[in-house]
Structure 1
Amino acid sequence: MAATVRQVQVTFDCAEPERLARFWCDVLGYVIPDPPDGFADWDEFDRALPPEHQGSAFACQDPFGVGPRLFFQRVPEGKVVKNRVHLDVRVGSGLVGAERLAALMAESDRLVALGATRIRVMEADGIDESCIVMQDVEGNEFCLD
């Protein structure tokens, strides 16, 4: 009998897990989960780990439990190629034309102020609506659509 999938978690390999998690909290309105039982906060939990594991992971989650949990794990190697999977941040749903592009640009400006990079604005072409290709603070691609 096959297992039933109840949740999905998206995992990011990165250099600075807490920094990246806090960026995505700001982008998505996510929150940092409560620390494990017996710890006042995540800093206390982190200090209890062996030195080689301190700062090695962090997470954020949808405060309403609807979206997937995001998990960030430190890896020794840096990002070298384009992501094969990326997040689409849906800020223009239901909007078309100039109204959609204005909403995307406003959100893009907000995210650039948080440390993101705007890579490419792809304006509507009669087939596809506008979207903006961005990078997070560690260079991972995502789209505003």
Structure 2
Amino acid sequence: PGIPRLDQLRIHHNQPTSDHHPKPRPAVAVLSAKLAALSAGIDQRRERVTFLEARHGEWQRWYIDALPTRYAGLAAAAEQTRRAAYRRANLADAVAATTARVRAIDDTRPQPHAAPVTPRLTQQANAARRRVSPTPDQTVAEETELD
């Protein structure tokens, strides 16, 4: 049943033949040739797999070695963003505090300024505060422009 194994064919090939049973030389030669071709194909594929596994090993080593650098870069970008947001918040607070001080000085002086504080100071201060105050829809790139 099925295709005989090569070792069975060799045993059959080496047995003495009688006149009734001629040697099956052509079948053995054909099967041997097929076996050799398949064996060569398997060897080629095995070499290819070995090559690909070696390349994967190289890539994996590179990737693992690069992880600390990659995470350090991400951490640096996060810290830069945090600092920019902090500076922006401080700037917005400074604008509000300075505006309040200017108004307080003007309001408490016995003699008004020679050049009075412009009535638009509050509008300008509020506009400046809006420009530097972070809003939820701003991107990280916009937030780091103050660096």
> What's the TM-score once normalised by structure 2's chain length?
0.21
* Structure with the greater alpha carbon radius of gyration: 2
Greater strand fraction, Structure 1 or Structure 2 = 1
> What's the TM-score once normalised by structure 1's chain length?
0.21
